[in-house]
Structure 1
Amino acid sequence: MKRIVVVKLAPSPGQYAALKATLDLCNAGANMVARFAHSATDRRPFALQKQVYGHLKASGLSAQPAIRVIKKVADAYATRQANLTNGNYGPPGSKRYVAVTGKAIRFRQDAGQPFDDRCLSWQIDQSTVSIWTTAGRLRGIGFVCAPWQLKQLADRKGESDLILRNGQFYLHATVDTDTPPPLIPADDPTGWLGVDLGIVNLAVTTADDPADLDARWSGGAVTARRKRHQALRSALQRVGTKSAKRKLKARRRKETRYATDINHQLSKTVVAQAQRTGQGVAIEDLSGIRDRVRLAKDQRQQLHSWAFAQLRDQITYKAQAAGLPVQVINPCNTSRTCHRCGYFDPANRPSQALFRCRDCGWTGHADHNAAINIAALGHHSYRAAQSTAPKAATPLTAS
C-alpha cells in the first residue's frame, strides 16, 4: 500500500537559496518543454526527450533532473488529456474546452519537482538528506518529522517531490507500507458498516444512533465557517490595500486545512467503529456528483467545496491499514429505497431528514436508511467478488 510521508526541511540560508534556484530552473525548463509539447504530435516522455534533452542540459540541468522535468511535463499533458476525454472541461468545441486546449500548460515558478534516488538520498539515522541542486550536490540538509514517519522512511525507495509552501521547503516521499493481515476472515466478514456521505450530515454510519445524527458530524458548523471565510475574503478583496492582500495571503489554504482535519476526524471515527464491531466498510462512490446533481444556488457552493473524494480515500487507506475490507458502492437510489421491504419511490423521502416508506410504513432517519442500504450493497458486492475470484488448486492425494 502506497503512502505519502511529508517531512519539513531545515536548510541553512545558503542551502535554502540553492534549493530555490533549483526549483526556479527546473520549472523554467518545464515551461520550455511544455511549449514544445503543446504543438508536438507525440507527447510521450521518450519522444520529448529526443527533442528537448539537449536544451535542458544547456540550461544547466544535469542528466537525471532533466529527465524528471520531461516526465513531469508528459504526465501533466496526460492528465489534461484524461480530463478532456472525461468531459471535465465541457464538450469538444465548448468555450472552456477550447480555452484549455488552445494554450500550453504552465508551471509556477515554485511548483514541486520530483527527484529520484539518483538525485536525492536519505540519511535516516542522521535525519538529513542529500540532494542535487544547481550549486552542486548539497549534503547534510536536516529534516524534521514524527517518529512513525522515520519508521516508514527507513524502507523507502522511489521518488520524492521537493515542495516550496509558504516559504518552507518540504519533501513528499512515496513509501510502500505492508498491508496487515485482515482482522476478519477474508471469505466471511461478520458484517458491513455502511457509510452515507452528505452535506447536511457529513457522514452517517449504520452504527450511529439515528437520534444523534443531527448533532454529530453535522455540516451546519462547516457551512457556517465556510460562509465566514467567504465573507471575509470578499471584504478583503474589495478593499484591495497592501494590508488586505497580506491578510488574504496569510489566510489562504486555511479553509482547506480545516476541511482536511474534519475529514481525518471522520475517517478515524468510521474505521474505529468498524474495528470495534469487526466489520468491513462499505462507502458510497460520489465520483461525478458535481455534474449529476442539480441544487439550489445557495447549496451549490457547499457541494462544490467539500472534498468527498478525500474523505473516501482517507477511510479506504485507514481501513486497509487496519486489515478491514472496503467496498466502494454506487449510491444510486439508496436514499429513496426502504431498507426493510426494498420498496423504491422518490416520495419515500418527504424531507431531507425524514424517510417514510409508502409501502410498509417504516419511518426513520433518511441518511441512516441509506447507510443500511449501502451496507447491504457492500455485502452483495463482496460476495460476488469472492465467488468470481480464482480458487486455489486442491493438492492431489495418492489413492
Structure 2
Amino acid sequence: MKLTLQTQLLPTSEQAALLEATMRAFNEAANWLAGEAFARKTANKILLQKLCYAQLRERFGLSAQMAVRCIAQVCEAYKRDRSKRPQFRPLAAVPYDQRLMSFKGIDRVSLLTLSGRILVPMVMGKYQQERFTAARGQCDLVLRKDGKWFLLVTVDLPDGTKPPTTDFIGVDLGVANIATDSDGQHYSGDAVEAVRSRQYTLRASLQRAASAKKRRGMRPKNIRRKLKRLSGKERRFRANENHRIAKSLVAKAKGTGRGLALEELKGIRNRTRFRKAQRAKMGGWALAQLRAFVEYKARLAGVEVVYINPAYTSQTCAVCGHVSKANRPSQTEFRCVACGHADHADVNAASNIRCLARASVNTPKVSEPH
C-alpha cells in the first residue's frame, strides 16, 4: 500500500529563497498554462507540450524537466474538473519526481531550482527512517504557513498478513472521549478536552472581534491571520491525537489476535443528540481522518477492520439485549431497566459493536438442500 511520509527540510536562508522563487515560478507557469488548456479545452499532454513547452522555459525560466512536470500537473488538474480553469496558489506544493530530485542517504536531498541543484539537509523521525527505503516516485515540496519546508514522500509498503479473525475490539466514538473500546479503555480525556475547549473559546472570541471591526468599517486583517494560524494548530493537534489513538487501537488488536470493529460514520452526527457546545466539539473532530489512520495502520499490521451499523447500540444492554431509551439516564451512564446491568455508556456501546462484529464473521453457513 502507498503511504505519505513527511520529512522536514532545513535549508539555509539562501536555499529557502531559491526554493520559494522556484515554487512561485512553477505555480505562475501552471496558472498561465491552465488558461491555455482551458481555452483549447484540452488536457492532452503531448499537444500542450508541443504548443507551450518553449514558452514555459523562456517566459518562466523552468528547466526542461520542470516544464514537462508543470504540463503534467496542469493536465491532471484539468481532467479532475473540466468545468472551470484550474487555479494554483503562488505557494502551492510543487511535485518533484526522480528527474528533479535525488536523496543522498537519509539526511540530505538534492533539489532542482531555477538556479540549478542545491543540496538541502533533511531530518526525519524513527518512523520515517524505518520506511524510507520504500520511497517511490513523486514527492511534493511544501512550504507551510509558519515558514517551515517539508517533502511529502510517497512510499510503497507491503500489507501485513491477516490471520483468521473470530473476535474483535469494538470501538465507540464519542464526545468526552474520542473513542472507547469494548475492553473499557477510553482514548482521549481531560487533556484533550482542555485543548479543544481552549481552541474553541479562542476562535469564537477572535470571530466576534472580527465581526465588531467589520461593523465599524475596519478590515480585520490581523484577526484573520490569527484565525488561520489557530486553524493550522488545530489541524495538527487533531492529526497528532488521531495518530496516537489509531496506533494504540491497532497495537492492542494485533497484540491480542483480534480485529477492530468500528462504527459506520455515515449520519453519526444525526444519530446522536448533542448540546450546542458538544455539537461544536463533535463537528470539529476529524472522525473520518481517525478512521483513515486506523485503516492504513491496521492494513500494515495485518489487522482486520470491519464496520458496524451502530443503530441502537447506545440503548441496548450488552448483557441481556433489552433496548430502551430509559437505559441511558445520562450522557455517560448506562443502567439497564430490565436486568440492572450498569456500565459506562460508551463501554456498553462498544461492547455491542463487538458483539455485532463477532456475529457477522461467525455466522454459520447453512448449505441449501439438494
Q: TM-score range by the shorter chain?
A: 0.7 to 0.9
2:147 equivalent in structure 1: 167
> Structure 2 CA distance, aligned partners of 1:377 and 1:51?
60
Flag the 1:221–1:247 CA change in 2: closer, same or farther, 3 A.
Answer: closer
TM-score normalized with structure 1 length: 0.74
Structure 1: runs of 5+ lacking an equivalent:
82-100, 388-399
Partner Cα distance (1:162, 1:295) in 2: 41
TM-score normalised according to structure 2 size: 0.79
| One-letter code aligned to 1:254 | K
Partner of 2:66: 65
Deviations 1:159-184 (A, max 9, x none): 100001122221110112233445xx
Mapped to 1, the partners of 2:223 and 2:252 lie a distance apart of 45
Question: Is 2:169 aligned against 1:193?
Answer: yes
| Equivalent residue number for residue 122 of structure 1 | 103
Count of residues paired in the alignment: 357
Residues 166, 358 of structure 2: 8 Å contact kept: no
1:1-399 map, 5 Å: 1-36=1-36, 43=43, 53=53, 55-59=55-59, 60-76=61-77, 104-124=85-105, 127-136=107-116, 138-165=117-144, 166-182=146-162, 186-187=163-164, 189=165, 191-208=167-184, 216=189, 220-234=193-207, 237=210, 251-287=230-266, 289=268, 297-344=276-323, 348-357=327-336, 362-382=341-361
Report the AA paired with residue 148 of structure 2: Q
Which residue identity lines up with residue 61 of structure 1 in the other structure? L
Q: Deviations over 1:333-353 (max 9, x none)?
A: 432344344455555545432
**Cα RMSD (Å):** 3.7
| Amino acid corresponding to residue 350 of structure 2 in structure 1 | A
Matched position secondary structure for 2:136: coil
Q: Which residue number corresponds to residue 89 of structure 1?
A: none
Deviation at 1:49, TM superposition (A): 5.7
Contact 1:229 1:255 (8 Å CA) reproduced: no
Q: CA deviation at 1:280?
A: 1.4
Q: 1:236 to 1:191 in 2, by over 3 A?
A: same
Q: CA deviation at 1:147?
A: 4.3
Is there any run of 5+ residues in structure 2 with no aligned partner, and where?
A: 214-218, 366-370
State the alpha-carbon separation in 1 of the partners of residues 223 and 28 from structure 2: 31
Q: CA 1:304 to 1:47, structure 2 compared with 1: closer, same or farther past 3 Å?
A: farther
Query: What CA deviation, in whole Å up to 9, does each residue of 1:19-64 have, x standing for no partner?
Result: 1111111211222344455566555766766765555344333444
Give the partner amino acid of 1:193. Answer: I
**Secondary structure in 2 matching 1:253:** helix
Match in the other structure for 1:390: none
User: Do the aligned partners of 1:199 and 1:219 also contact (CA within 8 Å) in 2?
Assistant: no
Which amino acid is 2:155 matched to?
A: V
Residue 306 of structure 1: CA displacement?
0.7
CA contact (8 A) 1:207 1:273 kept: no
The CA deviation at 1:198 is 1.7
Letter in structure 2 aligned against 1:131: L
Quote the Cα distance in structure 2 between the aligned partners of 1:34 and 1:258: 35
